[in-house]
Amino acid sequence: MKLTYDQRAEMIKKAIMGEKPERVPVVCKAEPSFAVEYAGYDMKEALWNPDLIVKATDKMYEDIYFDAGGNMPRFPMFYKISGSRTFVPRELDHFVQHPEVTGLMFEEYDDYIADPFKCIVEKVIPRLYPNLGKPGAEGNLNFLRCMIADNQIKSRYLAGCAEIERKHGIVNIRRGAIEAPFDFLADLLRGFTGILLDVRRDPGRVAAAVEATTPLMYRLAKILNPTPGIIPSLFMPLHMPSYMRTKDFEKLYWPSFKKLVTDLIEKDGYTIQIFFEKNWTRFYDYLQELPRGVIAYFEEDDLGVVKEKLGKKLCIMGNFPISMLRLNTKQECIDKAKEILDKAAPGGGYLFTMDKSILSLTDAKPENLIAVNEFVHEYGVYR
Amino acid sequence: MEFTSELLKYWNEEPLEGYKAEDKDIVKDPLNKVEDALFAFIMSLMY
């Protein structure tokens, strides 16, 4: 039985706020690239023509049960024009990949701390996007080309998605992505290796840089998602904590992250879907301090334990291993889904989804995904 | 949790160069929205 958009929106809102909806909502983590392969389109052509991604997603929603979705693919045109060194379309099909980069040199920390935005524009962007840093009119025109490309392709994609979401009654639960301030400093500025070195050799500057980053993330959230409410949520993927010592996490990661999340939820009325990448077991005591309004999306954590430790306040989701969709039988996948639902669904405050995004047909057999989502929809009924 | 940057020309307390204080109600929001879009675009390059 397919539900209407309004029925779905209502049950998703209840789940996010920790209440018990009529059913467990099924959230789509199948990426547009999966939909393109599933529908049989050429990847390169689709990544340059958002109408094809929309058509592919239309077919995916026709065949596979979902209550909620929401995504934004990386389009290669933008990265080709900018000469990007950080998001790089691969030769084969222009699917965008992310090599390790260092946008900010260690000796530039003080410039960043003094005026992060200025430092990004003047020092980091020319390094990561050389075509934008070309002198004179050429660099200026390349900036304009990128803005035009971004605007043209995303507006077409979003309009198409809105149309098929209306058609299938799918609720878009995500709008706008931001980062934890420490992750922002780590990802494209200092890089994975650089930031971990900095934490040991100059934690004071790292702390100051993280503090300087926090207001930028706060401002960005409010621009990208100008209408706070239960849905659509902001999205925040967390990258570094599982690679950090707990004492470094406590001093350098947690304070700005907690303040950002708490302010956005309690002062501004947002909800935030936070992707807790890898395993977060040693951080549960910290996470208990987060407010209701967090959709805690876990990758490796056992949702039974998560439910017990955090489920009174946070809505939880995730942890169904997509590796099973690739390797196991339909029945084994269904058994795993049942096991997770039995642990995580009781009492509400739960959304069903995978442990990570499904990028391609090699990540998941479609027949397994279809069977699992149908099962969750039928079995996940609150009585 | 506000931030400022030498490169962003937000109309905050004082009128921006080239505008009169009495134009505030008409021009402040449109101008600040341009700065917001510029800021968001630049930041979109960073993650």
8 A C-beta contact, residue A35 and residue A56? yes
Secondary structure (DSSP) of A213-277: HHHHHHHHHHHHS-S-SSSSEEEEEE-SGGGS-HHHIIIIIHHHHHHHHHIIIIIT---EEEEE-
- Is residue A10's pLDDT more than 90? yes
**CB A125 to CB B45 under 8 A?**
yes
**Would strands A68-69 and A315-318 be described as parallel, antiparallel, or unpaired?**
unpaired
Q: Is the peptide bond before A232 cis (omega within 30 degrees of 0)?
A: yes
Looking at the complex, report in whole angstroms how far the Cα of residue A76 sits from the nearest Cα belonging to chain B: 13
Extract the tokens encoding B27.
């021009």
* Positive/negative CA dihedral, A360, A364, A365, A370: negative
Flag whether residue A202 sits within 8 Å of chain B, measured between CB atoms: no
Rounded to an integer, what distance in angstroms lies between the CA atom of residue A321 and that of residue A204?
Answer: 39
Give the pLDDT confidence score for residue A169 in this predicted structure: 97
pLDDT tens string A137-184 = 999 999 999 999 999 999 999 999 999 999 999 999 999 999 999 999
pLDDT tens string A258-292 = 999 999 999 999 999 999 999 999 999 999 999 99
Flag whether residue A179 sits within 8 Å of chain B, measured between CB atoms: yes
Rounded to an integer, what distance in angstroms lies between the CA atom of residue A155 and that of residue A339?
Answer: 40
Compare CB distances from A129 to B6, B39, B45 and report the shortest one's residue: B45
Rounded to an integer, what distance in angstroms lies between the CA atom of residue A193 and that of residue A297?
Answer: 26
Q: Provide the residue type at A97 as one letter.
A: Q
A-chain residues within 8 Å CB-CB of B37?
223
Closest CA to A221 of B40, B8, B7, B45: B40
Give the pLDDT confidence score for residue A259 in this predicted structure: 98
Question: Alpha carbon of B29 to those of A217, A220, B33, B39: distances in Å?
Answer: 21, 17, 6, 15
Residue B21, burial from CB neighbour count under 10 angstroms (0-12, 13-18, 19+): exposed
Residues with Cβ < 8 Å from B23, sequence gap 6 or more? B15
Give the pLDDT confidence score for residue A71 in this predicted structure: 87
Rounded to an integer, what distance in angstroms lies between the CA atom of residue A134 and that of residue A34?
Answer: 36
Rounded to an integer, what distance in angstroms lies between the CA atom of residue B5 and that of residue A21?
Answer: 45
Rounded to an integer, what distance in angstroms lies between the CA atom of residue A183 and that of residue A237?
Answer: 9
**Residue B47: closest CA among chain A residues belongs to which residue?**
A188
Place of tokens 């990847």: A43
Predicted confidence band of residue A383 (pLDDT cuts 50, 70, 90): confident
Q: pTM to 2 decimals?
A: 0.96
- Maximum C-alpha span of chain A: 66
- Is residue A2's pLDDT more than 90? no
Give the pLDDT confidence score for residue A132 in this predicted structure: 97
Looking at the complex, report in whole angstroms how far the Cα of residue A116 sits from the nearest Cα belonging to chain B: 8
- Is residue A337's pLDDT more than 90? yes
pLDDT, chain A, mean: 97
* Positive/negative CA dihedral, A252, A255, A256, A257: positive
Looking at the complex, report in whole angstroms how far the Cα of residue A205 sits from the nearest Cα belonging to chain B: 18
pLDDT tens string A48-61 = 999 999 999 999 99
- Is residue A1's pLDDT more than 80? no
8 A C-beta contact, residue A56 and residue A82? no
Give the pLDDT confidence score for residue B13 in this predicted structure: 86
ipTM given for this complex = 0.96
Rounded to an integer, what distance in angstroms lies between the CA atom of residue A349 and that of residue A220?
Answer: 28
Closest CA to B46 of A358, A248, A117: A117
Terminal C-alpha separation, chain B: 21
Looking at the complex, report in whole angstroms how far the Cα of residue B4 sits from the nearest Cα belonging to chain A: 8
Rounded to an integer, what distance in angstroms lies between the CA atom of residue B27 and that of residue A298?
Answer: 45
pLDDT tens string B4-44 = 999 999 999 889 999 999 999 999 999 999 999 999 999 99
**CB B45 to CB A82 under 8 A?**
yes
Average pLDDT of span A87-108: 96
Closest CA to B14 of B24, B5, B6: B24
pLDDT tens string A189-248 = 999 999 999 999 999 999 999 999 999 999 999 999 999 999 999 999 999 999 999 999
Average pLDDT of span A17-21: 97
**CB A124 to CB B37 under 8 A?**
no
A-chain residues within 8 Å CB-CB of B39?
117, 219-220, 223
Closest CA to A288 of A265, A264, A307: A307
Place of tokens 């691969």: A90
**pLDDT above 70 coverage of chain A, percent:** 100
Say how far residue A348 (Cα) sits from the centre of its chain. 23
Give the pLDDT confidence score for residue B2 in this predicted structure: 82
A-chain residues within 8 Å CB-CB of B3?
116-117, 212, 215-216, 219
Flag whether residue A104 sits within 8 Å of chain B, measured between CB atoms: no
pLDDT tens string A120-147 = 999 999 999 999 999 999 999 999 999 9
Residue A30, burial from CB neighbour count under 10 angstroms (0-12, 13-18, 19+): buried
pLDDT tens string A66-77 = 999 988 899 999
**CB A125 to CB B42 under 8 A?**
yes
Residue A368, burial from CB neighbour count under 10 angstroms (0-12, 13-18, 19+): buried
**Would strands A315-318 and A294-298 be described as parallel, antiparallel, or unpaired?**
parallel
